[in-house]
Amino acid sequence: MEANEQVVTGEQLLNSKSTKRIKIKTLTKSTIVIRITMFFLVLLTIIAFFNFDYKELDIGEAMLATFANMKAMFLEPHFKHFTFTHALHQVFVTLGLAFLTTLFGAIIAVFLGLLAAENLTSKRVSAVIKGAVAFIRAVPTVLWVLIFAVAAGLGSVAAVIGMTFHSVSYLVKAYSESFEELDKGVIEALQASGANFWQIIFQAVIPSSLTYMISWTFLRFEINFAVAIAMGAAAGAGGIGFDMFMASNFYLDIREIGTITFFILAVAILLEVFATKFKKKLKVNG
Amino acid sequence: MTALLEVNHVSKQFGNDSKALSDVNFTVNEGEFVSIIGPSGAGKSTLLRCINRMIDATGGEITFDNMNVMNLKKKELKMVRTRIGMIFQHYNLVNRLSVIENTLHGILGKKSTIAGVLGLYNQAEREQAVRILSMLGLGEHIYKRADQLSGGQKQRVGIARALIQNPRMLLCDEPIASLDPNSAKTIMDHLRTISSQMGITVIVNLHQVDVALKYSDKIIGINQGQVVFNGSSKDITKEDIQRIYGSEAEDLIFDIGGIHAS
Ligand SMILES: Nc1ncnc2c1ncn2[C@@H]1O[C@H](COP(=O)(O)OP(=O)(O)OP(=O)(O)O)[C@@H](O)[C@H]1O
Ligand SMILES: [Mg+2]
């Protein structure tokens, strides 16, 4: 790639008396390819809009109707089939589901993560666990919930098991990678003084990885909150997601959907603010 | 003087490679200061780690304090390790923990698993840690995080962690290789004091011949896994240095002459 770059020295640019502007980017093979690709993508998008099968739909009218719906949803939210306290309660149910599955996942993942870290166990054990976990992670959480629903029936039990399952696989990867960051010399030093495996884990490995572990766990908690909303609707796990399902599919009340969306948004923002503050504090102290 | 450590016919082979150590023999007395010198890849680190079984030797016999180190069970090996401190070139501290926490890591081997896991140290142990740190000139840095220290200070924490074990012997793998001359001198002076005043045997891997000659009672020279010199630092000659480092040691010879003259 670099061999294709035109070599122009600064002197040549300054000496050439022409009024040519100095370019900041030089044309390399990769920039040309990127530009051509972008051009075709834009072209295809425009062509596509002319070739859609609009049936009897007038695009202008449809867009206006969508805006009207959006306006109703977000500017005129109301409570009809439930009250404010009920909604708050349901948000906490959803948060509870996210918290519980993250907690279960984190506890199991710490132990599996230790086994999956190459510097703490053998290469083979590590490879087996990482492989299994990669497979579990490749299947979406929702699918795992539905798979467990076969045995446990659709509901909160299947949701808890399925979400925990996926959280474990996600966190094992994150944790084991942060454990592997620890210099093997530190482990050697403690081994040489006669410390045993668990002492080394709790005195050296975990203290060194704690900030990473907390960051990843928070991230998973945010993911689990989003999944928990979906599970309320898709797997009947209860919480605010179920109310959303009822509002949209049963009562067809878009204003109520707006209310729920605002509730979820508020919680998501609160979580984000809390997580950022907490991480900052950890960076200072930890 | 009694022999604390005896190394007899020790050899080590990694996989199918040529031998990292072959038929190594030497004894170290109680309270002695011994330097192991030799070119890169000679097997110095390997030898040091065979002594506390961080690496298992393939043949021979190692006796520490009248115990055969080679066929100890797991529990007995831990016991022996608690009495041998180890110091490293890269200090190997837990960066996120404080100086005193790192120091107290030295006694984990003597504690129960649960007390170690929870980091429960009693008052006497804490006082001992503070005393050792003050002795090493780290009295003001007790609560600093290990990664906020300079290299020389980190190495002193490494020494404190080894000393709190109340060891009979210290194994030091190139303790001054990453330090500037001043910090290096401080560290070597501390090690010398530990050996002469506390009666702790010190074995040091070194790359600096002049430092080795200045501080040691005894020098062990290793080349390609074999002991090629074993004797007092006063008796070492140009030819010995040449034998240890191979024929490319012309420049070193000049150094030696200077040191013997001073
Ligand atoms: N884990 C290992 N696996 C395979 N070979 C090894 C291993 N450790 C050391 N060796 C080999 O053993 C020989 C001695 O290595 P060692 O690290 O003991 O040398 P050294 O004298 O400490 O060198 P340096 O001064 O560079 O630290 C080298 O040839 C090295 O390649
Ligand atoms: Mg070495």
The pLDDT tens digits of the residues spanning A185-232 come to: 999 999 999 999 999 999 999 999 998 999 999 999 999 999 999 888
- Co-location of B48 and B162 in the same domain: no
The pLDDT confidence band at residue A8, using thresholds 50, 70 and 90, is: low
- B116: nearest CA in chain A? A199
Give the H or E element holding residue B53.
Answer: none
A-chain residues near B118 (CB < 8 A): 202
Find the mean pLDDT for residues A120-138: 94
**A5 in any annotated domain:** no
Ligand approaching nearest to the C-alpha of B46: 1
Q: What is the arithmetic mean of pLDDT over B229-249?
A: 85
How near does any CA of chain B get to the CA of A197, in Å?
9
Q: Which of B118, B142, B166 delimits the end of a domain?
A: B166
Range of the domain at B155: 94-166
Please indicate, yes or no, if residue B16 is contained in any of the structural domains: yes
Contacts of B170 in chain A (CB under 8 A): none
CA distance linking residue B183 with residue B199, whole number of Å: 23
Task: Kindly report the protein residue whose alpha carbon is nearest to atom 11 of ligand 1.
Answer: B20
Contact check, Cβ <8 Å, B116/A195: yes
Residues B174 and B246 in one domain: yes
User: Based on the structure, what is the number of domains in chain B?
Assistant: 2
Model ipTM value:
0.91
User: For a pocket test of ligand 1, which of B12, B13, B45 has the largest count of ligand atoms closer than 8 A to its C-beta?
Assistant: B45
Instruction: Please say if the pLDDT value at position B51 is more than 50.
Output: yes
In this structure, the residues whose C-beta lies within 6 A of any atom of ligand 1 are: B 14, 17, 20, 38, 40-46
- Expressed as residue numbers, the domain containing A193 is 82-285
- Both B150 and B172 in one domain: the answer is no
Maximum pairwise Cα distance, chain A: 81
Query: Sheet harboring B19-29: ordered strands across?
Result: B19-29, B3-13, B59-64, B67-68
Q: Does A28 fall in a domain?
A: no
Q: Specify if A11 maps to a domain.
A: no
Chain B residue with the nearest C-alpha to that of A201: B117
Record: contact A192-B86, CB cut-off 8 A: yes
At B76, is the pLDDT very low, low, confident or very high (cuts 50, 70, 90)? very high
Compute the mean pLDDT over every residue in chain A, rounded to the nearest whole number.
87
For the residues A96-118, what does the mean pLDDT come to?
95
Q: What is the mean pLDDT of residues A62-87?
A: 86
| A4 has a pLDDT exceeding 50 | no
Average confidence score pLDDT of chain B: 91
Q: Render pLDDT for B143-201 as a digit per residue (tens, 0 to 9).
A: 999 999 999 999 999 999 999 999 999 999 999 999 999 999 999 999 999 999 999 99
What percent of chain B lies above the pLDDT cut of 70?
A: 94
Asked whether the predicted pLDDT for residue A16 surpasses 70, the reply is no
Any domain includes B88:
no
Task: Kindly list the residues from chain A whose CB atom is less than 8 angstroms away from the CB atom of residue B93.
Answer: 186, 189
pLDDT band at A6 (very low <50, low <70, confident <90, very high): low
Ligand 1 atom closest to B44 (CA): 21
Domain membership flag for residue B234: yes
A192 inside domain: yes
Last residue of a domain, one of B166, B183, B205: B166
Q: pTM of this prediction? A: 0.81
Q: Quick check: A196 and B93 CB within 8 A?
A: no
Domain membership of residue B116 (yes or no) is: yes
- What string of H, E and C letters represents the secondary structure of A224-260? HHHHHHHHHHHCCCCCHHHHHHHHHHHCCCHHHHHHH
B94 and A195: CB-CB below 8 Å?
no
**Residues forming a β-bridge with B232:** B218
Domain limit, last residue, from B150, B166, B182: B166
Whether B247 and B187 map to the same domain: the answer is: yes
Task: Give one word for A28, left, alpha or beta, with left for phi > 0 and alpha for psi -120 to 50.
Answer: beta
Task: Output B229 or A9, whichever has higher pLDDT.
Answer: B229
CATH of the domain at A178: 1.10.3720.10
Q: Is residue A117 part of a domain?
A: yes
B193 plus B249 within the same structural domain:
yes
Atom of ligand 1 nearest to the CA of B225: 14
Chain A contact set for B94 (CB, 8 A): 186, 203-204, 207-208
Residue A238's pLDDT is 82
**Residue among B12, B17, B174, B176 to mutate when testing ligand 1 (max atoms within 8 A of CB):** B17
Q: Is the pLDDT of residue B248 over 70?
A: no
* Interface probe, candidates A178, A181, A198, A199, chain B, greatest B C-beta count within 10 A: A199
Q: Parallel, antiparallel, or unpaired for β B84-88 and B218-223?
A: unpaired
**How many domains does chain A fold into?**
1
Q: Is residue B127 part of a domain?
A: yes
